[in-house]
């Protein structure tokens, strides 16, 4: 893993790694392995089923650890909170901040705040405890049992709604968290009917590139989603990533990649 990281790193990082002894490299690898295990424990369980919702996600870091963030939290009231985000930067520093975001939102969700207020509070805490220039883009949402989904977008890729083969985006947007301590956010509501799907992703998916450095792009992604709209959440996520990797022709991903599909299956 360290060898691959060195190949993708800047020249200064490569030179630093070359100066390490085999023992030091082994110790560094062990630290990265432990960090990978710790970060893995922060991820939600796969293939969640809760109160008429089914959720599937895939999390593919570009290196040993990742700055991508995703979480799923069910409440005693029957609501399902979902989050997906991307911390600026890469590597260990980004993974540390991913863990901080996880802790902040987990501590605030229990306060039963509105989604916009939840993001406002999280932004304030994150900005106060994170040195610049670090920030994070994210989408935070709450899915209710009646199919109502409330969403707040903080500078992230717009969520997509799949309904009978049509793909539409939820385009509301706000500032990334951590940039300004006192910042207000707004939320929007969307109705997700039985069989509809909500898709969230990080830019490592849409910005994946091929050997000609052409990006996968939103147009190709929407076309694939429209063709595959009949697939259940887990199969849809798998089909999308299969297409991304086919497009990239085996190139290693250059950015962390996360995709989450939320399907209303009903009770």
Residue pLDDT, tens place only, 70-93: 999 999 999 999 999 999 987 778
Cis peptide before 133 (omega within 30 of 0): yes
Residue pLDDT, tens place only, 105-164: 999 999 989 999 999 999 999 999 988 889 999 999 999 999 999 999 999 999 999 999
Contact criterion met (CB below 8 Å) for 86 and 138 = yes
263 SS3 class = strand
Are β-strands 148-154 and 197-201 bridged in parallel, bridged antiparallel, or unpaired? Answer: unpaired
pTM (predicted TM-score): 0.87
Closest residue by Cα to residue 218 from 153, 156, 157, 141: 157
Total length of the chain:
267
Distances 64 to 68, 92, 209, 221 between C-alpha atoms, Å: 12, 9, 21, 26
CATH superfamily of 43-264: PPM-type phosphatase domain (3.60.40.10)
| Reported confidence tier of residue 3, pLDDT bands at 50, 70, 90 | very low
Contact criterion met (CB below 8 Å) for 92 and 35 = yes
Residue pLDDT, tens place only, 249-266: 878 777 889 999 999 998
């Amino acid at each position: 893993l360290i060898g691959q990281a060195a190949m993708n790193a800047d020249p200064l990082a490569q030179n630093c790694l070359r100066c390490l002894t085999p023992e030091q490299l082994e110790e560094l690898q062990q630290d990265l392995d432990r960090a990978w295990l710790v970060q893995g424990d922060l991820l939600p369980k796969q293939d969640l089923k809760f109160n008429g919702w089914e959720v599937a996600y895939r999390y593919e870091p570009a290196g040993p650890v990742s700055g991508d963030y995703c979480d799923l939290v069910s409440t005693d009231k029957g609501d399902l909170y979902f989050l997906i985000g991307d911390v600026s930067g890469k590597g260990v520093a980004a993974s540390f901040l991913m863990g901080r975001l996880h802790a902040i939102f987990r501590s605030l969700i229990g306060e039963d705040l509105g989604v916009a207020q939840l993001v406002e509070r999280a932004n304030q805490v994150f900005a106060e405890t994170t040195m610049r220039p670090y920030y994070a883009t994210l989408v935070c949402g709450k899915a209710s049992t009646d199919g109502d989904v409330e969403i707040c977008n903080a500078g992230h890729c717009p969520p997509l709604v799949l309904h009978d083969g049509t793909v539409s985006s939820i385009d509301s947007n706000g500032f990334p968290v951590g940039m300004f301590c006192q910042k207000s956010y707004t939320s929007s509501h969307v109705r997700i009917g039985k069989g509809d799907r909500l898709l969230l992703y990080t830019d490592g998916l849409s910005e994946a590139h091929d050997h000609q450095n052409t990006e996968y792009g939103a147009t190709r992604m929407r076309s694939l989603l429209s063709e595959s709209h009949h697939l259940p959440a887990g199969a849809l996520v798998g089909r999308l990533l299969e297409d991304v990797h086919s497009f990239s022709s085996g190139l290693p991903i250059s950015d962390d990649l996360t995709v989450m599909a939320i399907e209303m299956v009903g009770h």
